[in-house]
Amino acid sequence: MLRRLPAAVLLLAALAVLTVPGDSSPGPAAPVPARAGRGGPPVPAGALERARQVARAWPGSESDRIWHTGYYARLNGQSWLPRDFTGNDGAFAAFLGDRIDLEADFPPFSGPGTVSFPDGTSQALPLTDPRAAYEQLVRYRDSPCTREPCDTVLTVTAVRPATRPQSTSRGTATVPVWEFVFAGLDEPYAVAAVESQEPPGPRTVEDKDLPEGVTDLWYAGRGTDEQELWALLYPGNCAGPLPGAVYGTADVLVLIGRTDGRPTDCEPNGAGREARFRLTGPPGNRVVLNLAGHPVLFPAD
């Protein structure tokens, strides 16, 4: 049985395959037949049809509204680890094993927290309960120890409100966080104290719901020039990546992750496969989506 790799393996893809340029209309442009590399297979019709549906559904949607006017975080429930963990194996082992004792009171959390955006505007959102954040930290503390030293314990000496910079659809915002101060560490652990307003729903489409050789992607980044994007693919069968396909309209770009479809045994150090996506022009203000209709590229990326 194939197993997933736990970390990213960066495999450079060659040329991009399908780019459908956006037009001046709000609807999707007509697709252009293309192949994956020289002599490669065409993009499956089912994948193109799903990309069309995603492109049609975005303009005027609740997700579109929040993306442009609300708080749409790149990582909902984001947390920040103390940099001390890199040089303190005992503390990090205790953190990974949820061996964390609480010797502090929780601050009040009634009322809103303020998210401040780089354009000078702000938004008030309900604060989360810091108790819930602590419960997440210790949810597996009764599980068997799998990382030595197993007798180490972290102690929370203070829980306090603070702020951190966070990547959002409207740039790098300043968001409220709960900080957990650990005895013996110079930096606290922090977790976002407000919830992203993005609508609920799956962030990716499972491989079983896509044509063979097509896989969805979690996030994307900017490539070596303005007409290239890259993304990490996590195919369930660990197949090798092919250059990605792009379906474009005036409003969005929909990325179609592709593989050679040949199952392989996953390597021990990562399941991620890097794929490149070649565009006909810069993305501009268009939102970059995956096949689940979820944004995968943020302005600060």
Digit-coded pLDDT (tens) for 122-147: 999 999 999 999 999 999 988 888 77
Q: Rounded to the nearest 10 degrees, how much is the dihedral formed by the CA atoms of 97, 218, 220, 13?
A: 100
For residue 27, the model assigns a pLDDT of: 33
For residue 268, the model assigns a pLDDT of: 66
CA 263 – CA 265 distance, rounded (Å)? 7
CB 273 within 8 A of CB 259: yes
Peptide bond connecting 26 to the previous residue in cis, omega within 30 degrees of 0:
no
Look over the chain and give the mean of its residue pLDDT values, rounded to a whole number: 85
Task: Please state, in angstroms and as integers, the Cα–Cα distance from residue 238 to each residue in 1, 78, 255, 260, 266, following that order.
Answer: 11, 27, 19, 10, 6
Q: Which of 31, 37, 45 is nearest to 14 (CA)?
A: 37
Supply the pTM of this predicted model.
0.83
For residue 269, the model assigns a pLDDT of: 61
pLDDT cut 70: percent of the chain above it? 84
- Region 230-253: what's the mean pLDDT? 93
pLDDT cut 90: percent of the chain above it? 68
Measure the CA angle with vertex 204, ends 173 and 75; round to 5°. 20
161-210 pLDDT per residue, tens: 999 999 999 999 999 999 999 999 999 999 999 999 999 999 999 999 99
CA 100 – CA 182 distance, rounded (Å)? 9
pLDDT band at 117 (very low <50, low <70, confident <90, very high): very high
Is the pLDDT at 9 greater than 80? The verdict is no
